Amino acid sequence: MGIDRDRVEGAAKNIGGKIKEATGNATSDEKLKREGQKDQVTGKVQNTVGGVKDEVREHTHDPDKP
């Protein structure tokens, strides 16, 4: 069946946010640091939504259909 696209995109956004935050910390760029933190939260939420979609699909899958 596969993983929901939101999970993949959310994980990528979370990782990108961690990189932005670390870069902001290293360069003392508070704006970049905050953007990274925001991206991490957004990515975690998107990943969670994808997980819920996966669960719904798993529990509503009709075994008679391919």
Whether residue 46 lies inside any domain: the answer is yes
pLDDT of res. 9: 96
Phi, psi of 64 (to 5 degrees): -80, -15
pTM, to two decimals? 0.80
Whether residue 62 lies inside any domain: the answer is no
pLDDT of res. 25: 98
User: Structurally, how many domains does the chain consist of?
Assistant: 1
Domain range spanning residue 35? Answer: 5-53
Whether residue 63 lies inside any domain: the answer is no
Whether residue 60 lies inside any domain: the answer is no
Closest by CA position to 6, among listed 35, 66, 55, 46: 46
Whether residue 43 lies inside any domain: the answer is yes
Whether residue 21 lies inside any domain: the answer is yes
- All residue ranges of the chain with pLDDT < 70 are 1, 62-66
Q: Is 1 exposed, middle or buried (0-12, 13-18, 19+ CB in 10 A)?
A: exposed
pLDDT of res. 65: 58
Whether residue 58 lies inside any domain: the answer is no
Q: Are 48 and 6 in contact (CB under 8 A)?
A: no
DSSP H or E segment with residue 26: helix 5-27
Sequence length of the chain is 66
Whether residue 47 lies inside any domain: the answer is yes
